[in-house]
Amino acid sequence: MLITDILVRNARMYGNETALIERVPTQNLRREITWEEFNAQSNQVAQALLAAGIQKGDKVVHLMVNCIEWLPIYFGILRTGALAVPLNFRFRAESLKYCTSVAGAKAFIFGEEFVDRVDKIKSDIDETVKDYIFVGPEEQTPGYAIPYKAFIDSQSADEPQVNMNILDDAGLYFTSGTTGRPKATLLTHRNLEFACFLENSHHHQTHEDNFLCIPPLYHTGAKMHWFGNFIVGARSVILKGIEPKWIVEAVSEEKVTLVWLLVPWALDILFAIECGDIKLRDYELDQWRLMHIGAQPVPLSLIKEWKKVFPHHKYDTNYGLTECTGPGCVHLGIENEHKVGAIGRPGFDWECKVVDDDLRSVEQGSPGELIVKGPGIMKEYYGNAEATAEAVVNGWLRTGDVARQDEDGFIWLVDRKKDVIITGGENIYPVEIENFLQAHPKIQDVAVIGVPSTRLGEITAAVIQVKKGQAVTKDEINAFCEELPRYKRPRKIIFNHVPRNPTGKIEKPKLRKQFGGISESFKIE
Protein backbone atom coordinates (compact mmCIF):
# COMPACT_ATOMS: atom_id res chain seq x y z
CA MET A 1 0.00 0.00 0.00
CA LEU A 2 1.29 3.45 -0.86
CA ILE A 3 2.03 5.54 2.21
CA THR A 4 -0.46 8.11 0.88
CA ASP A 5 -3.18 5.44 0.63
CA ILE A 6 -2.88 4.83 4.37
CA LEU A 7 -3.89 8.46 4.91
CA VAL A 8 -6.90 8.02 2.60
CA ARG A 9 -7.94 4.95 4.60
CA ASN A 10 -7.58 6.79 7.92
CA ALA A 11 -9.73 9.66 6.62
CA ARG A 12 -12.38 7.16 5.53
CA MET A 13 -12.39 5.13 8.75
CA TYR A 14 -11.66 7.81 11.37
CA GLY A 15 -12.54 11.05 9.55
CA ASN A 16 -13.91 13.05 12.50
CA GLU A 17 -11.35 11.79 15.03
CA THR A 18 -8.30 13.82 16.00
CA ALA A 19 -5.19 12.99 13.98
CA LEU A 20 -2.64 15.60 15.04
CA ILE A 21 -2.34 17.98 17.99
CA GLU A 22 0.18 20.80 18.13
CA ARG A 23 1.29 22.26 21.46
CA VAL A 24 3.39 25.44 21.67
CA PRO A 25 4.03 25.99 25.40
CA THR A 26 5.83 29.31 24.91
CA GLN A 27 2.64 30.77 23.39
CA ASN A 28 0.13 28.71 25.39
CA LEU A 29 -1.14 27.55 21.99
CA ARG A 30 -2.89 24.28 21.14
CA ARG A 31 -4.23 23.33 17.69
CA GLU A 32 -5.58 20.07 16.31
CA ILE A 33 -6.83 18.61 13.03
CA THR A 34 -8.89 15.52 12.22
CA TRP A 35 -7.93 12.77 9.80
CA GLU A 36 -10.41 14.19 7.29
CA GLU A 37 -8.81 17.66 7.54
CA PHE A 38 -5.31 16.14 7.34
CA ASN A 39 -6.23 14.30 4.14
CA ALA A 40 -8.04 17.27 2.58
CA GLN A 41 -5.16 19.65 3.24
CA SER A 42 -2.68 17.17 1.72
CA ASN A 43 -4.86 16.95 -1.40
CA GLN A 44 -4.97 20.74 -1.68
CA VAL A 45 -1.18 20.94 -1.40
CA ALA A 46 -0.86 18.30 -4.12
CA GLN A 47 -3.37 20.01 -6.42
CA ALA A 48 -1.59 23.35 -5.97
CA LEU A 49 1.82 21.85 -6.74
CA LEU A 50 0.48 20.09 -9.83
CA ALA A 51 -1.13 23.35 -10.99
CA ALA A 52 2.26 25.03 -10.56
CA GLY A 53 3.83 22.49 -12.92
CA ILE A 54 5.29 19.96 -10.49
CA GLN A 55 5.35 16.52 -12.10
CA LYS A 56 6.06 12.97 -11.03
CA GLY A 57 9.77 12.57 -10.26
CA ASP A 58 10.37 16.27 -9.53
CA LYS A 59 11.86 17.31 -6.18
CA VAL A 60 10.26 19.67 -3.65
CA VAL A 61 12.28 21.06 -0.74
CA HIS A 62 10.46 21.00 2.61
CA LEU A 63 12.18 23.30 5.13
CA MET A 64 10.10 23.80 8.26
CA VAL A 65 10.28 23.36 12.01
CA ASN A 66 7.76 20.97 13.56
CA CYS A 67 4.20 22.27 13.30
CA ILE A 68 0.73 20.99 12.48
CA GLU A 69 1.20 21.84 8.78
CA TRP A 70 4.40 19.79 8.46
CA LEU A 71 2.87 16.37 7.76
CA PRO A 72 -0.02 17.49 5.51
CA ILE A 73 2.54 19.32 3.33
CA TYR A 74 4.81 16.27 3.28
CA PHE A 75 1.97 13.98 2.19
CA GLY A 76 0.81 16.57 -0.34
CA ILE A 77 4.21 16.47 -2.02
CA LEU A 78 4.13 12.66 -2.12
CA ARG A 79 0.60 12.71 -3.63
CA THR A 80 1.95 14.47 -6.75
CA GLY A 81 4.44 11.66 -7.40
CA ALA A 82 7.23 14.15 -6.68
CA LEU A 83 9.97 13.47 -4.12
CA ALA A 84 9.81 15.25 -0.77
CA VAL A 85 13.18 16.70 0.28
CA PRO A 86 12.92 17.48 4.03
CA LEU A 87 15.95 19.51 5.09
CA ASN A 88 17.60 19.88 8.46
CA PHE A 89 16.44 23.20 9.91
CA ARG A 90 19.85 23.64 11.54
CA PHE A 91 21.61 23.72 8.16
CA ARG A 92 23.32 26.99 7.36
CA ALA A 93 22.55 28.78 4.11
CA GLU A 94 25.48 27.14 2.31
CA SER A 95 24.30 23.63 3.21
CA LEU A 96 20.74 24.48 2.17
CA LYS A 97 22.05 25.65 -1.19
CA TYR A 98 24.14 22.51 -1.60
CA CYS A 99 21.24 20.14 -0.81
CA THR A 100 18.79 22.04 -3.03
CA SER A 101 21.26 21.93 -5.90
CA VAL A 102 22.02 18.22 -5.49
CA ALA A 103 18.29 17.50 -5.51
CA GLY A 104 17.62 19.81 -8.45
CA ALA A 105 14.51 20.97 -6.62
CA LYS A 106 11.77 22.73 -8.61
CA ALA A 107 9.79 24.08 -5.64
CA PHE A 108 10.83 25.26 -2.20
CA ILE A 109 8.41 25.27 0.74
CA PHE A 110 9.76 27.07 3.83
CA GLY A 111 8.75 28.49 7.19
CA GLU A 112 9.14 31.97 8.59
CA GLU A 113 12.28 30.99 10.54
CA PHE A 114 14.26 30.57 7.31
CA VAL A 115 13.62 33.77 5.36
CA ASP A 116 17.14 35.16 5.90
CA ARG A 117 18.78 31.91 4.82
CA VAL A 118 16.59 31.53 1.74
CA ASP A 119 17.25 35.18 0.82
CA LYS A 120 20.98 34.43 0.79
CA ILE A 121 20.77 31.46 -1.57
CA LYS A 122 17.83 32.37 -3.80
CA SER A 123 19.91 33.70 -6.68
CA ASP A 124 22.01 30.52 -6.65
CA ILE A 125 19.07 28.08 -6.74
CA ASP A 126 16.77 30.02 -9.09
CA GLU A 127 18.10 27.98 -12.01
CA THR A 128 15.97 25.02 -10.92
CA VAL A 129 13.55 26.37 -8.27
CA LYS A 130 10.55 28.01 -9.93
CA ASP A 131 8.18 28.41 -6.99
CA TYR A 132 8.73 29.46 -3.38
CA ILE A 133 5.88 28.79 -0.93
CA PHE A 134 6.00 30.59 2.41
CA VAL A 135 4.39 29.02 5.49
CA GLY A 136 4.02 31.84 7.99
CA PRO A 137 2.19 35.13 8.65
CA GLU A 138 0.95 36.35 5.28
CA GLU A 139 2.19 39.90 5.88
CA GLN A 140 5.75 38.58 6.29
CA THR A 141 5.79 36.78 2.95
CA PRO A 142 8.92 37.67 0.92
CA GLY A 143 8.20 39.29 -2.44
CA TYR A 144 9.42 36.26 -4.36
CA ALA A 145 7.19 33.76 -2.48
CA ILE A 146 3.52 32.71 -2.46
CA PRO A 147 1.72 32.65 0.92
CA TYR A 148 0.81 29.08 1.83
CA LYS A 149 -2.85 29.85 2.50
CA ALA A 150 -3.26 31.58 -0.87
CA PHE A 151 -1.37 28.74 -2.55
CA ILE A 152 -3.81 26.03 -1.42
CA ASP A 153 -7.10 27.78 -0.61
CA SER A 154 -8.54 27.81 -4.11
CA GLN A 155 -7.57 24.21 -4.77
CA SER A 156 -9.83 21.17 -4.72
CA ALA A 157 -9.62 18.79 -1.77
CA ASP A 158 -10.17 15.86 -4.13
CA GLU A 159 -7.40 13.30 -4.42
CA PRO A 160 -5.29 13.99 -7.51
CA GLN A 161 -5.09 11.24 -10.10
CA VAL A 162 -1.40 10.44 -10.47
CA ASN A 163 -0.24 7.02 -11.60
CA MET A 164 2.04 5.74 -8.83
CA ASN A 165 3.31 2.38 -7.62
CA ILE A 166 5.03 1.05 -4.51
CA LEU A 167 8.51 1.03 -6.09
CA ASP A 168 8.40 4.71 -7.06
CA ASP A 169 10.88 7.11 -5.51
CA ALA A 170 9.38 9.00 -2.56
CA GLY A 171 11.98 11.14 -0.83
CA LEU A 172 15.50 12.45 -0.57
CA TYR A 173 16.67 12.48 3.03
CA PHE A 174 20.01 14.17 3.56
CA THR A 175 22.32 12.71 6.19
CA SER A 176 23.29 15.03 9.03
CA GLY A 177 26.75 15.67 7.63
CA THR A 178 28.50 15.00 10.96
CA THR A 179 31.36 13.27 9.10
CA GLY A 180 31.41 15.38 5.94
CA ARG A 181 29.02 16.89 3.41
CA PRO A 182 25.42 15.64 3.66
CA LYS A 183 24.58 12.77 1.30
CA ALA A 184 21.16 12.45 -0.36
CA THR A 185 19.57 9.15 0.65
CA LEU A 186 16.93 8.06 -1.88
CA LEU A 187 13.96 6.26 -0.30
CA THR A 188 11.03 4.66 -2.11
CA HIS A 189 7.36 4.30 -1.24
CA ARG A 190 8.11 0.67 -0.39
CA ASN A 191 10.74 1.82 2.12
CA LEU A 192 8.20 4.12 3.78
CA GLU A 193 5.45 1.50 3.85
CA PHE A 194 7.82 -1.03 5.42
CA ALA A 195 8.76 1.50 8.13
CA CYS A 196 5.08 1.62 9.17
CA PHE A 197 4.84 -2.14 9.65
CA LEU A 198 8.28 -2.30 11.29
CA GLU A 199 7.51 0.31 13.94
CA ASN A 200 4.07 -1.09 14.71
CA SER A 201 5.40 -4.64 15.02
CA HIS A 202 7.98 -3.45 17.55
CA HIS A 203 5.80 -1.26 19.78
CA HIS A 204 2.32 -2.71 19.24
CA GLN A 205 0.47 0.55 18.72
CA THR A 206 -3.33 0.34 18.60
CA HIS A 207 -5.92 2.89 17.56
CA GLU A 208 -6.17 3.94 21.22
CA ASP A 209 -2.51 4.96 21.55
CA ASN A 210 -1.19 8.52 21.49
CA PHE A 211 2.40 9.23 20.43
CA LEU A 212 4.29 12.30 21.63
CA CYS A 213 6.53 13.58 18.82
CA ILE A 214 9.31 15.90 19.98
CA PRO A 215 12.30 15.37 17.63
CA PRO A 216 12.36 17.16 14.26
CA LEU A 217 10.12 15.61 11.63
CA TYR A 218 12.68 16.14 8.85
CA HIS A 219 14.61 13.29 10.47
CA THR A 220 13.63 9.71 9.70
CA GLY A 221 13.74 8.78 13.39
CA ALA A 222 10.85 11.01 14.48
CA LYS A 223 8.63 10.42 11.47
CA MET A 224 9.16 6.68 11.25
CA HIS A 225 8.31 6.25 14.95
CA TRP A 226 5.13 8.23 14.27
CA PHE A 227 4.40 5.79 11.42
CA GLY A 228 3.53 3.12 14.02
CA ASN A 229 0.58 5.25 15.14
CA PHE A 230 -0.21 6.42 11.63
CA ILE A 231 -0.83 2.93 10.28
CA VAL A 232 -3.56 2.28 12.87
CA GLY A 233 -5.11 5.77 12.70
CA ALA A 234 -4.00 6.68 16.22
CA ARG A 235 -3.55 10.29 17.30
CA SER A 236 -0.23 12.01 17.90
CA VAL A 237 0.96 15.18 19.62
CA ILE A 238 3.58 17.49 18.11
CA LEU A 239 5.31 19.29 20.97
CA LYS A 240 7.32 22.41 20.14
CA GLY A 241 9.82 22.49 22.96
CA ILE A 242 11.96 20.14 25.03
CA GLU A 243 11.67 21.54 28.55
CA PRO A 244 11.05 18.64 30.97
CA LYS A 245 7.92 20.25 32.41
CA TRP A 246 6.42 20.74 28.94
CA ILE A 247 7.00 17.08 28.11
CA VAL A 248 5.40 15.81 31.31
CA GLU A 249 2.50 18.27 30.97
CA ALA A 250 1.83 17.08 27.42
CA VAL A 251 1.86 13.44 28.51
CA SER A 252 -0.55 14.21 31.33
CA GLU A 253 -2.99 16.54 29.56
CA GLU A 254 -3.14 14.70 26.22
CA LYS A 255 -3.15 11.20 27.76
CA VAL A 256 -0.01 10.24 25.85
CA THR A 257 0.94 6.55 25.92
CA LEU A 258 4.25 6.46 24.00
CA VAL A 259 7.16 8.88 24.14
CA TRP A 260 10.38 8.70 22.16
CA LEU A 261 13.17 10.63 23.87
CA LEU A 262 16.77 11.49 23.20
CA VAL A 263 19.28 10.80 25.96
CA PRO A 264 19.69 14.48 26.99
CA TRP A 265 15.92 14.94 27.35
CA ALA A 266 15.53 11.83 29.48
CA LEU A 267 18.40 13.02 31.68
CA ASP A 268 16.81 16.47 31.97
CA ILE A 269 13.48 14.94 33.06
CA LEU A 270 15.16 12.82 35.73
CA PHE A 271 17.14 15.81 36.99
CA ALA A 272 14.00 18.00 37.12
CA ILE A 273 12.26 15.32 39.20
CA GLU A 274 15.31 14.88 41.43
CA CYS A 275 15.60 18.60 42.21
CA GLY A 276 11.85 19.07 42.71
CA ASP A 277 11.08 21.17 39.63
CA ILE A 278 8.68 18.41 38.60
CA LYS A 279 6.46 16.75 41.21
CA LEU A 280 5.00 13.61 39.66
CA ARG A 281 1.97 13.67 41.97
CA ASP A 282 0.77 16.77 40.08
CA TYR A 283 0.32 14.86 36.81
CA GLU A 284 -1.76 11.99 35.42
CA LEU A 285 0.80 9.59 33.99
CA ASP A 286 -0.64 6.12 34.58
CA GLN A 287 -1.51 5.70 30.89
CA TRP A 288 2.14 6.30 29.81
CA ARG A 289 3.20 2.76 28.91
CA LEU A 290 6.40 3.07 26.85
CA MET A 291 9.51 5.23 26.89
CA HIS A 292 11.95 4.43 24.12
CA ILE A 293 15.23 5.99 23.10
CA GLY A 294 17.27 5.93 19.93
CA ALA A 295 19.64 7.93 17.70
CA GLN A 296 22.61 7.42 20.04
CA PRO A 297 24.13 5.00 22.56
CA VAL A 298 22.08 4.83 25.76
CA PRO A 299 23.90 4.69 29.13
CA LEU A 300 22.81 1.74 31.27
CA SER A 301 22.84 4.05 34.32
CA LEU A 302 20.18 6.24 32.70
CA ILE A 303 17.74 3.37 32.21
CA LYS A 304 18.32 1.99 35.70
CA GLU A 305 17.47 5.40 37.16
CA TRP A 306 14.46 5.79 34.84
CA LYS A 307 13.04 2.46 35.96
CA LYS A 308 13.37 3.51 39.60
CA VAL A 309 11.28 6.62 38.91
CA PHE A 310 8.86 4.98 36.44
CA PRO A 311 8.81 1.29 37.42
CA HIS A 312 5.69 0.51 35.35
CA HIS A 313 7.18 1.79 32.07
CA LYS A 314 8.17 -0.56 29.31
CA TYR A 315 11.51 0.41 27.83
CA ASP A 316 12.93 -0.11 24.36
CA THR A 317 15.73 1.13 22.19
CA ASN A 318 15.99 1.05 18.41
CA TYR A 319 19.05 1.42 16.24
CA GLY A 320 18.87 2.70 12.70
CA LEU A 321 20.18 5.02 10.02
CA THR A 322 18.71 7.28 7.39
CA GLU A 323 20.06 4.77 4.86
CA CYS A 324 17.76 2.05 6.27
CA THR A 325 14.66 4.29 6.51
CA GLY A 326 15.23 5.23 10.10
CA PRO A 327 15.09 3.19 13.29
CA GLY A 328 14.48 -0.49 13.83
CA CYS A 329 16.93 -2.55 11.80
CA VAL A 330 18.29 -3.52 15.22
CA HIS A 331 15.74 -3.62 18.02
CA LEU A 332 16.09 -4.41 21.73
CA GLY A 333 12.44 -5.33 22.29
CA ILE A 334 10.28 -4.43 25.27
CA GLU A 335 10.56 -8.02 26.48
CA ASN A 336 14.36 -7.79 26.80
CA GLU A 337 14.95 -5.25 29.55
CA HIS A 338 17.45 -7.69 31.07
CA LYS A 339 19.69 -6.76 28.12
CA VAL A 340 19.55 -2.98 28.59
CA GLY A 341 22.78 -1.57 27.19
CA ALA A 342 22.59 -3.66 24.02
CA ILE A 343 20.96 -2.18 20.92
CA GLY A 344 19.27 -5.54 20.41
CA ARG A 345 18.79 -8.19 17.78
CA PRO A 346 17.75 -7.88 14.12
CA GLY A 347 14.43 -6.04 13.83
CA PHE A 348 11.34 -7.32 12.03
CA ASP A 349 12.40 -8.70 8.61
CA TRP A 350 16.04 -7.55 9.05
CA GLU A 351 19.34 -9.46 9.01
CA CYS A 352 22.51 -8.28 10.79
CA LYS A 353 26.17 -9.33 10.88
CA VAL A 354 29.34 -8.16 12.61
CA VAL A 355 32.22 -8.35 10.12
CA ASP A 356 35.87 -7.50 9.49
CA ASP A 357 37.20 -5.18 6.79
CA ASP A 358 36.73 -7.94 4.20
CA LEU A 359 33.08 -8.37 5.28
CA ARG A 360 33.75 -11.77 6.83
CA SER A 361 31.96 -12.53 10.08
CA VAL A 362 34.17 -12.07 13.15
CA GLU A 363 34.28 -14.39 16.14
CA GLN A 364 31.46 -14.00 18.64
CA GLY A 365 32.29 -11.23 21.10
CA SER A 366 34.92 -9.62 18.87
CA PRO A 367 34.40 -6.04 17.63
CA GLY A 368 33.72 -5.51 13.94
CA GLU A 369 31.61 -3.40 11.61
CA LEU A 370 27.85 -3.84 11.84
CA ILE A 371 26.19 -4.52 8.48
CA VAL A 372 22.43 -4.87 7.93
CA LYS A 373 20.10 -6.16 5.21
CA GLY A 374 16.34 -5.73 4.81
CA PRO A 375 13.43 -4.00 3.03
CA GLY A 376 14.35 -0.62 4.52
CA ILE A 377 17.70 -0.30 2.70
CA MET A 378 17.83 2.87 0.63
CA LYS A 379 17.70 2.71 -3.14
CA GLU A 380 20.94 4.69 -3.45
CA TYR A 381 22.83 7.83 -2.54
CA TYR A 382 21.23 10.07 -5.15
CA GLY A 383 23.68 11.13 -7.84
CA ASN A 384 26.60 9.41 -6.10
CA ALA A 385 27.20 5.94 -7.55
CA GLU A 386 30.66 5.67 -5.96
CA ALA A 387 29.39 6.31 -2.42
CA THR A 388 26.47 3.93 -3.02
CA ALA A 389 28.84 1.14 -4.10
CA GLU A 390 30.94 1.66 -0.97
CA ALA A 391 27.92 1.67 1.35
CA VAL A 392 25.81 -1.17 -0.11
CA VAL A 393 27.61 -4.41 -0.95
CA ASN A 394 25.58 -7.38 -2.21
CA GLY A 395 22.48 -5.92 -0.57
CA TRP A 396 24.21 -5.35 2.79
CA LEU A 397 24.44 -1.82 4.16
CA ARG A 398 27.76 -0.98 5.80
CA THR A 399 26.78 1.12 8.81
CA GLY A 400 30.25 2.36 9.77
CA ASP A 401 29.48 1.43 13.39
CA VAL A 402 31.68 -0.89 15.42
CA ALA A 403 29.70 -3.52 17.32
CA ARG A 404 30.01 -6.91 19.00
CA GLN A 405 27.52 -9.75 19.36
CA ASP A 406 27.06 -11.71 22.60
CA GLU A 407 26.29 -15.38 23.11
CA ASP A 408 22.52 -14.69 23.00
CA GLY A 409 22.70 -12.90 19.65
CA PHE A 410 22.31 -9.40 21.09
CA ILE A 411 24.34 -6.66 19.44
CA TRP A 412 26.22 -4.14 21.54
CA LEU A 413 27.32 -0.89 19.94
CA VAL A 414 30.98 -0.17 20.55
CA ASP A 415 31.50 3.05 18.58
CA ARG A 416 31.64 4.76 15.22
CA LYS A 417 34.55 3.55 13.11
CA LYS A 418 35.60 7.15 12.57
CA ASP A 419 35.51 7.87 16.32
CA VAL A 420 37.86 5.08 17.42
CA ILE A 421 40.90 6.50 19.25
CA ILE A 422 44.20 4.69 18.71
CA THR A 423 46.58 5.39 21.57
CA GLY A 424 49.91 3.62 21.73
CA GLY A 425 48.59 0.94 19.39
CA GLU A 426 45.47 0.27 21.54
CA ASN A 427 41.97 0.83 20.12
CA ILE A 428 39.80 2.83 22.50
CA TYR A 429 36.08 3.13 21.90
CA PRO A 430 34.79 6.48 23.25
CA VAL A 431 31.24 5.20 23.87
CA GLU A 432 32.51 2.80 26.55
CA ILE A 433 34.11 5.67 28.45
CA GLU A 434 31.14 7.99 27.89
CA ASN A 435 28.75 5.39 29.30
CA PHE A 436 31.00 4.92 32.32
CA LEU A 437 31.28 8.66 33.05
CA GLN A 438 27.55 9.19 32.53
CA ALA A 439 26.98 7.27 35.77
CA HIS A 440 28.67 10.04 37.77
CA PRO A 441 25.89 11.84 39.70
CA LYS A 442 27.19 15.32 38.88
CA ILE A 443 27.68 14.82 35.13
CA GLN A 444 24.91 16.01 32.79
CA ASP A 445 26.55 15.01 29.50
CA VAL A 446 29.92 13.81 28.26
CA ALA A 447 31.82 13.32 25.02
CA VAL A 448 35.15 11.56 24.60
CA ILE A 449 37.42 12.53 21.71
CA GLY A 450 40.98 11.88 20.66
CA VAL A 451 43.54 14.69 20.77
CA PRO A 452 47.05 14.62 19.25
CA SER A 453 49.98 13.16 21.20
CA THR A 454 53.54 13.16 19.90
CA ARG A 455 54.37 10.03 21.90
CA LEU A 456 51.17 7.98 21.64
CA GLY A 457 49.57 9.32 18.46
CA GLU A 458 46.35 10.17 20.26
CA ILE A 459 45.18 10.40 23.83
CA THR A 460 41.65 10.52 25.20
CA ALA A 461 40.03 13.76 26.29
CA ALA A 462 36.70 13.79 28.15
CA VAL A 463 34.57 16.86 27.49
CA ILE A 464 32.25 17.05 30.50
CA GLN A 465 29.10 19.11 30.93
CA VAL A 466 28.31 19.40 34.64
CA LYS A 467 24.73 19.36 35.92
CA LYS A 468 23.24 22.76 36.65
CA GLY A 469 23.91 23.79 40.25
CA GLN A 470 26.62 21.16 40.72
CA ALA A 471 30.38 21.51 40.96
CA VAL A 472 33.03 18.90 40.27
CA THR A 473 36.82 18.98 40.01
CA LYS A 474 39.29 17.24 37.76
CA ASP A 475 40.58 15.25 40.75
CA GLU A 476 37.07 13.94 41.46
CA ILE A 477 36.72 12.77 37.86
CA ASN A 478 40.13 11.12 37.90
CA ALA A 479 39.29 9.31 41.14
CA PHE A 480 35.97 8.14 39.66
CA CYS A 481 37.79 6.78 36.59
CA GLU A 482 40.14 4.59 38.64
CA GLU A 483 37.69 1.73 38.08
CA LEU A 484 38.53 1.85 34.37
CA PRO A 485 41.59 0.04 32.94
CA ARG A 486 44.47 2.50 32.98
CA TYR A 487 44.70 2.84 29.19
CA LYS A 488 40.99 3.78 28.98
CA ARG A 489 41.13 6.55 31.57
CA PRO A 490 40.80 10.04 30.06
CA ARG A 491 44.16 11.80 29.97
CA LYS A 492 42.55 15.23 29.71
CA ILE A 493 39.44 16.56 31.46
CA ILE A 494 37.72 19.50 29.77
CA PHE A 495 34.72 21.18 31.37
CA ASN A 496 32.59 22.47 28.53
CA HIS A 497 29.15 22.31 26.94
CA VAL A 498 28.61 19.11 24.92
CA PRO A 499 27.07 20.10 21.56
CA ARG A 500 24.46 17.78 20.06
CA ASN A 501 22.55 18.04 16.79
CA PRO A 502 18.71 18.02 16.70
CA THR A 503 18.66 14.21 16.57
CA GLY A 504 20.75 13.91 19.73
CA LYS A 505 24.07 12.90 18.23
CA ILE A 506 27.19 14.44 19.76
CA GLU A 507 28.79 16.83 17.30
CA LYS A 508 32.31 15.47 17.69
CA PRO A 509 33.73 17.28 14.63
CA LYS A 510 32.97 20.55 16.46
CA LEU A 511 34.74 19.33 19.59
CA ARG A 512 37.73 18.06 17.61
CA LYS A 513 37.97 21.44 15.88
CA GLN A 514 37.70 23.27 19.20
CA PHE A 515 40.02 21.06 21.25
CA GLY A 516 41.90 19.00 18.65
CA GLY A 517 44.98 21.16 18.87
CA ILE A 518 45.38 20.60 22.60
CA SER A 519 48.93 19.64 23.51
CA GLU A 520 49.70 17.03 26.16
CA SER A 521 50.48 19.75 28.69
CA PHE A 522 47.08 21.41 28.26
CA LYS A 523 44.56 21.06 31.05
CA ILE A 524 41.36 22.68 32.22
CA GLU A 525 40.40 22.30 35.86
pLDDT digits (tens, 9 = 90+) for 417-449: 667 776 755 667 787 788 889 889 899 999 898
In the three-class reduction of DSSP (H, G, I as helix; E, B as strand; rest coil), residue 463 is classed as strand
Range of the domain at 477: 420-515
Question: Over 90: is that where the pLDDT of 190 sits?
Answer: yes
Q: What is the pLDDT of residues 122-148, one digit of tens each?
A: 999 999 999 999 999 999 999 999 999
Share of the chain above pLDDT 70, in %: 93
Residue 176 sits in a domain whose CATH number is 3.40.50.12780
pLDDT score of 166: 96
pLDDT score of 397: 97
Band (231; pLDDT cuts 50, 70, 90)? very high
Question: Over 80: is that where the pLDDT of 391 sits?
Answer: yes
Residue 325 falls within a domain, yes or no? no
Share of the chain above pLDDT 90, in %: 71
Q: Which of 156, 188, 220 is the last residue of a domain?
A: 188
Q: What is the pLDDT of residues 241-250, one digit of tens each?
A: 999 999 999 9
Residue 230 CA neighbour count, 13 Å, CB half: 27
pLDDT score of 296: 65
pLDDT score of 464: 93
Question: Over 50: is that where the pLDDT of 522 sits?
Answer: no
pLDDT score of 454: 57
Question: Over 70: is that where the pLDDT of 22 sits?
Answer: yes
Question: Over 70: is that where the pLDDT of 261 sits?
Answer: yes
Alpha helices in 215-345 (DSSP H): 220-230, 244-254, 263-274, 300-309
Question: Over 60: is that where the pLDDT of 347 sits?
Answer: yes
Residue 291 falls within a domain, yes or no? no
385 and 190 Cβ atoms separated by less than 8 Å: no
Q: Which of 121, 154, 188 is the last residue of a domain?
A: 188
pLDDT score of 424: 55
Residue 273 falls within a domain, yes or no? no
pLDDT score of 5: 96
| C-alpha–C-alpha distance, residues 231 and 196, integer Å | 6
pLDDT score of 185: 96
Question: Over 90: is that where the pLDDT of 201 sits?
Answer: yes
Band (521; pLDDT cuts 50, 70, 90)? very low
Higher pLDDT, 139 or 293: 139
Higher pLDDT, 127 or 512: 127
Strand order in the sheet with 210-213: 29-34, 18-24, 235-239, 210-213, 258-261, 290-294, 314-321, 326-331, 345-346
pLDDT score of 494: 92
Sign of torsion, CA 130 133 134 139?
positive
The rounded mean pLDDT for the chain is 90
Cα–chain center distance at 273:
25
Band (396; pLDDT cuts 50, 70, 90)? very high
DSSP 209: -
Q: What is the pLDDT of residues 268-277, one digit of tens each?
A: 899 999 999 9
Question: Over 50: is that where the pLDDT of 370 sits?
Answer: yes
Band (180; pLDDT cuts 50, 70, 90)? low
Question: Over 90: is that where the pLDDT of 363 sits?
Answer: yes
Residues with Cβ within 8 Å of residue 153, at least 6 apart in sequence: 44
Q: What is the pTM of this model?
A: 0.82
Q: Which of 188, 214, 246 is the last residue of a domain?
A: 188
Residue 67 falls within a domain, yes or no? yes
400 and 369 Cβ atoms separated by less than 8 Å: yes
pLDDT score of 112: 96
pLDDT score of 113: 95
pLDDT score of 520: 39
Band (502; pLDDT cuts 50, 70, 90)? low
Residue 180 falls within a domain, yes or no? yes
Please, what's the b/e burial string for 110-121 (b: 16 or more CB within 10 A of its CB; e: otherwise)?
A: bbeebbebbeeb
378 and 325 Cβ atoms separated by less than 8 Å: yes
368 and 356 Cβ atoms separated by less than 8 Å: yes
Residue 461 sits in a domain whose CATH number is 3.30.300.30
| C-alpha–C-alpha distance, residues 235 and 205, integer Å | 11
Nearest alpha-carbon partner for 149 in 164, 163, 138: 138
Q: Please count the structural domains in the chain.
A: 2
> Long-range CB contacts (< 8 A, 24+ apart) of 92-96?
92/117, 93/117, 93/120, 93/121, 94/121, 95/177, 95/182, 96/63, 96/121
Helix axes 3-14, 35-51, angle to 10 degrees: 140
Q: What is the mean pLDDT of residues 349-362?
A: 95
CA distances 81 to 163, 190, 378, Å, are: 8, 14, 18
pLDDT score of 523: 34
Residue 361 falls within a domain, yes or no? no
| C-alpha–C-alpha distance, residues 315 and 493, integer Å | 32
Band (176; pLDDT cuts 50, 70, 90)? low
Question: Over 90: is that where the pLDDT of 52 sits?
Answer: yes
Residue 311 falls within a domain, yes or no? no
Residue 142 falls within a domain, yes or no? yes
